[in-house]
Structure 1
């Protein structure tokens, strides 16, 4: 498959807001509804905006939080970014995605906030909570939405055999994020990490909808490469709210954690 998630649109000189515009491709389509985007593409594009904003700061991302503020349409979107809390050692940055309303005005549909921190040499004190995750033979069925078109087709899914404690899958993005522009390892991780909810699903998607409202990623080490292992677990409460938590790995080992809040509803 040769494609990309977003196409960069030329600057519109008549747009006084000065936002960066992108066309969302069909590869961003959600498994829940083909008219809206899966959470991973917006997370990745907003992560890219944060990395661009932080390029000369000397800081690196320690935490990313995606808040999904509304249905993100498979349509043109606009991005803006800002430094909320400047600093030489600690800074808070944000990027926001907007989409058009029917009347042509724009509404915010997703926001990423990121804590960035100043790196220093702590190699002599470095520890990992978990040993490296080793990829084995993939299970026959990659996920519960096997065959669904859109975003799920842009990722190589290698679900590992179920050990009865947590669901594990290795994922690799198959397409660039924006046109044929380079994609960083952090952006590649963002292109798959929102899928933790689907990997660790505690419910049958034929009977329930369980959509996440957010994705929070903490990274004690920056990711490397293109292959990422997610070991995830879903917990469902008695009142229609759930949580999925996970551990994130690259080929070198454990790099961080993820957490997502879920709205759970029965399929009608």
Structure 2
């Protein structure tokens, strides 16, 4: 049973046009281009599609590998979902965002059987400063775009370029008129990790560093509306980088995320 929350009176990231057809709103607008969607709400919407696709009692989604195959255009698009590998206790699902006849994002996800293993339960990821001890933070405002503007942020001591600890939440549901599960709501924020502790400010260092993928492992079912990100960003000297995050909800760590980056000079920068 997934925990769901809803916020009445606030525009969602997407409008459902029927079947697998959707339309993005301004809240899904990306940070690199005005006419594209941010990957974060796209990931959340794809997780929603997987969560609702032929659900099976006693199983949950545990790993998501997103490949960003190009610019994700704003506006109308389709989501197509299927089973790649059926199984009684483990199955592999796939969802694709198709816009203008082109697949812009593809995700595969493992759905696995759950059972009682509390006798051996243990989590090694360390907790960071609780939400109640964090401070209001507007550091994401260095980024443009409707998605970033939709977020509320808080930070904890030790936040710096290359290593950031922040809490994020959104007042907006994923799809207009529908409740949003905690899994969809929180995973719909994870791609923000690449911007919370940027090694160079957007534009200022004449470099861009978009991610071309997002890999999320969820070892515990998350709860609540706040996502905690304990994030490290590394740049190699040959144009490749990596953003790595431990994911937290208000009760503690629940997963990890990785984003491979293409680090390159901004075209025409002086």
1:216 maps to 2:222: no
Q: Distance in 2 between matches of 1:229 and 1:25?
A: 25
User: TM-score, normalised to structure 2's length?
Assistant: 0.89
Match for residue 96 of structure 1? 96
- 5+ residue gaps, structure 1, are 12-19, 101-105
1:16 aligned partner? none
Q: Is the 8 A contact 1:234 1:245 kept in 2?
A: yes
Residue number in structure 1 paired with 2:163: 166
> Who is 1:190 aligned against?
187
Match of 1:254 in 2: 253
Q: Which range moved further: 160-169 or 222-231?
A: 160-169
Q: What TM-score does the superposition give when structure 1 sets the normalisation length?
A: 0.90
1:6 aligned onto 2:14: yes
Q: Which moved more, 1:88-97 or 1:203-212?
A: 203-212
Q: What pairs with 1:24-173 in structure 2 (closer than 5 Å)?
A: 24-56=24-56, 58-100=58-100, 106-133=101-128, 134-135=130-131, 136-138=133-135, 140-143=137-140, 145=142, 148-162=144-158, 166-173=163-170
Match of 2:237 in 1: 238
Paired with 2:151 and 2:121, the residues of 1 have a C-alpha distance of: 31
In 1: Cα distance, 2:194 partner to 2:67 partner? 15
Query: Once superposed, which parts of structure 1, at least 4 consecutive aligned residues long, lie more than 6 Å away?
Result: none
Does the aligned pair in 1 maintain the 2:62–2:219 contact within 8 Å? yes
C-alpha distance 57-87 of structure 1, shift in aligned 2 (>3 A): farther
Report the 3-state secondary structure (helix = DSSP H, G, I; strand = E; otherwise coil) of the residue aligned with 1:195. Answer: helix
Q: Distance in 2 between matches of 1:255 and 1:233?
A: 17
- Structure 2 equivalent of residue 266 of structure 1: 265
**Number of residue pairs the alignment of both structures matches:** 254
8 Å Cα contact 2:142-2:201 kept in structure 1: no
In structure 2, list runs of 5 or more residues that go unmatched: 1-8
Contact 2:72/2:105 (8 A) holds in 1: yes
Q: Is the 8 A contact 1:96 1:112 kept in 2?
A: yes
Contact 1:173 1:191 survives alignment (8 Å): no
Contact in 1 for aligned 2:137/2:153 (Cα 8 Å): no
Instruction: Write the distance in 1 (CA, Å) between the matches of 2:145 and 2:218.
Output: 31
Separation of aligned partners in 1, 2:91 and 2:197: 32
